[in-house]
Structure 1
Amino acid sequence: MITRRTALGLLAASPLAATPLSKALAADYPARPVKWVVGYPPGGATDILARLIGQRLSEKLGQQFVVENKPGAGNNIATESVVNAEPDGYTVQLVNPANYINASLYKNLKFNFVRDIAPVASFQRVPNVMTVNKDVPAKNVAEFIEYVKANPGKVNMASSGNGTSVHLSGEMFMAMTGCKMQHVPYRGAAPAITDMLGGQVQVIFDNMPSIIQHIRSGSLRAIGVTTTE
């Protein structure tokens, strides 16, 4: 059995499917389509994972898991909609570290995430990748630090929203290196990457699934990861 304390550890490290606290589910669950709420726009890591896992669940369980994107406020809009949904197991949420980060960032949330959301299963851990626009001359982290310090106020750091792991990875990087960058929060990874490709922002510490195709194609350059290897 996964205890609440164990679930907290899993949530801090990986996206997690979750559903409101509810009565015991019927043996024939699911008897109708399940709404899977994602707190970001289509195209980001969380959305990609939801669609991949949702497709598999649909195949295995015989009912559609329909992704519904509710971006904004660092997942809080999506979470509030799930908390207020009928607690029957037919509205679930793909949770990521931002959901727990928000508990310390926002003073007046209309829900208590730990109390109001029940964990179901942990299924994915992904690293964040420090990625730069191809016009940035730096080929590694050391060169990037030199570039930022030589160009004060000229480097914009994108994120998928305030309080996300993408945002806090960048803030930690600035704190550790003394670099000063302008944080530009977006409503999700997809619009942030669009501006990365266009050169409006120069660096992002994005989740691997949403950025990897652009790294492989050469349109963006990866110079570091948040894992030990």
Structure 2
Amino acid sequence: MLTRRDLVAGAGLAALGGTAARAQGEAFPSRPIRLVVPYTPGGSVDLMARAFGTRLTQNTGQPTVIENRPGASTMLATEYVARAAPDGYTVLSGGTQLALMSHMGTRTPYDAERDIVAVAVLTIVPYLLVVNSSLPVRNVQELIAYAKQRPGELNYASFGVGGAGHLAAEMFNMLAGTETVHIPYNGTAPGLNDVMGGRVAMSFCTIPPALPAIEAGRLRPLGLTGRQHLSALPGVPTIEEAGVAGYECVSMNVMFAPSGVPADRLQRLNDAVVRSLGDSDLRKLLEEQGFVPAEPMSPAQAKASFDASVSKLVEIIRRANIRT
């Protein structure tokens, strides 16, 4: 005999089934898409997201609305998208950091593997090794030799414990055999100010804030943490090219959606991103901001690439015992 509980449960399942059927049958998108950014307006990631938003509007035929939700080391925005309706209308411009927090001891209000799904890779984010211009080193090999002669004496600034600058420096120590001391700051700018002032020897920093100081001769760029050259920094080699075999430490900007979005909608969003990446003006703008436009990838390829990047960084976290 059917009970009231059975009837209620059955009605709920029927309603869910009806919602899924409507989602599969509706034209997509048929209304604005919300692109959530986990940072304040005006920063480089926000500018990147807005540039993509303009192209997504063109390529989907529907407005892309940028919504900034900064705070809690990107966890507020990530949780918001993870809890959103899985209909493809709410997506996240997220970075590698969102999947690293739990590996450094932070309890996250979402499960990065279970609650969100990669739609497309937007950009690769390399960082830049800079030193105080008075430090008597002109290239990466000279820095390594200088540091090895002074184990534990050279310090480096990062924009926070467990951030990309911290991980990049620890990978450098591991592969180059150096021993340098971490000085975390609350952001890139204060750390670079102390490098310029000679209070800190070097930094693995985000690129746009360093460019004016490099042009003014107050910082000396030695190498890029990625494997591509940048038009914004002509003549600056990658750290691997400079002799540190196997070195690559980058972040990724990825479009994520809540888990459960129908596959055809994920593919529609992916198609719009891929078409956007073919826009020469967008690519030029991204490169000027220190981003490397991603190669076109399917949702499955985007997930595989993101997972591989995270796994590499998790190994640094483990070996360096980084805890937030």
- Same-fold call, TM cutoff 0.5: yes
Q: State the partner residue of 1:118.
A: 117
The Cα of 1:151 is off from its aligned counterpart by: 6.1
* TM-score, normalisation: structure 1: 0.69
The Cα of 1:125 is off from its aligned counterpart by: 2.2
| Rounded Cα–Cα distance in structure 2 between residues aligned with 1:59 and 1:84 | 27
Gaps of 5+ in 1: 1-21
SS in 2 for 1:27: coil
Q: State the partner residue of 1:144.
A: 143
The Cα of 1:157 is off from its aligned counterpart by: 2.2
CA contact (8 A) 1:161 1:186 kept: yes
CA contact (8 A) 1:70 1:78 kept: yes
The residue correspondences of 1:155-166 to structure 2 (distance < 5 A) are 155-166=154-165
| Rounded Cα–Cα distance in structure 2 between residues aligned with 1:56 and 1:198 | 41
Q: State the partner residue of 1:181.
A: 181
| Rounded Cα–Cα distance in structure 2 between residues aligned with 1:87 and 1:117 | 10
Q: Supply the AA of the counterpart residue of 2:97.
A: A
Q: State the partner residue of 2:82.
A: 83
| Rounded Cα–Cα distance in structure 2 between residues aligned with 1:208 and 1:128 | 6
Q: State the partner residue of 1:66.
A: 66
The structure whose residues are more often strand, as a share, is: 1
SS in 2 for 1:205: strand
CA contact (8 A) 1:128 1:207 kept: yes
Q: State the partner residue of 1:15.
A: none
SS in 2 for 1:125: strand
Larger Rg over CA atoms:
2
Q: Supply the AA of the counterpart residue of 2:90.
A: T
The Cα of 1:141 is off from its aligned counterpart by: 1.8
Query: 2:224 matched to 1:225?
Result: yes
SS in 2 for 1:70: coil
Q: 1:200 to 1:53 in 2, by over 3 A?
A: farther
Q: 1:107 to 1:94 in 2, by over 3 A?
A: same
Q: State the partner residue of 1:14.
A: none
> What whole-Å deviation, never above 9, does each CA across 1:19-45 have from its counterpart, x for those lacking one?
xxx96475242513524223477434x
SS in 2 for 1:108: coil
SS in 2 for 1:51: helix
The structure whose residues are more often helix, as a share, is: 2
Q: 1:127 to 1:35 in 2, by over 3 A?
A: closer
| Rounded Cα–Cα distance in structure 1 between residues aligned with 2:150 and 2:69 | 37
Q: Supply the AA of the counterpart residue of 2:100.
A: I
Equivalent pairs, count: 205
Q: 1:107 to 1:184 in 2, by over 3 A?
A: closer
The Cα of 1:54 is off from its aligned counterpart by: 2.2
The Cα of 1:222 is off from its aligned counterpart by: 1.3
CA contact (8 A) 1:141 1:223 kept: yes
Q: 1:107 to 1:71 in 2, by over 3 A?
A: closer
SS in 2 for 1:173: helix
The Cα of 1:196 is off from its aligned counterpart by: 4.6
Q: 1:72 to 1:210 in 2, by over 3 A?
A: farther
| Rounded Cα–Cα distance in structure 1 between residues aligned with 2:39 and 2:90 | 13
CA contact (8 A) 2:38 2:76 kept: no
Gaps of 5+ in 2: 1-18, 228-239, 242-324
Moved more, 111-120 or 207-216: 207-216
Q: State the partner residue of 1:36.
A: 36
Moved more, 56-65 or 115-124: 56-65
> What whole-Å deviation, never above 9, does each CA across 1:136-164 have from its counterpart, x for those lacking one?
33221233234445666664423333323
| Rounded Cα–Cα distance in structure 1 between residues aligned with 2:90 and 2:196 | 35
How large is the RMSD of aligned CA atoms in angstroms?
Answer: 3.4
Q: 1:207 to 1:37 in 2, by over 3 A?
A: same
Q: Percent identity?
A: 32
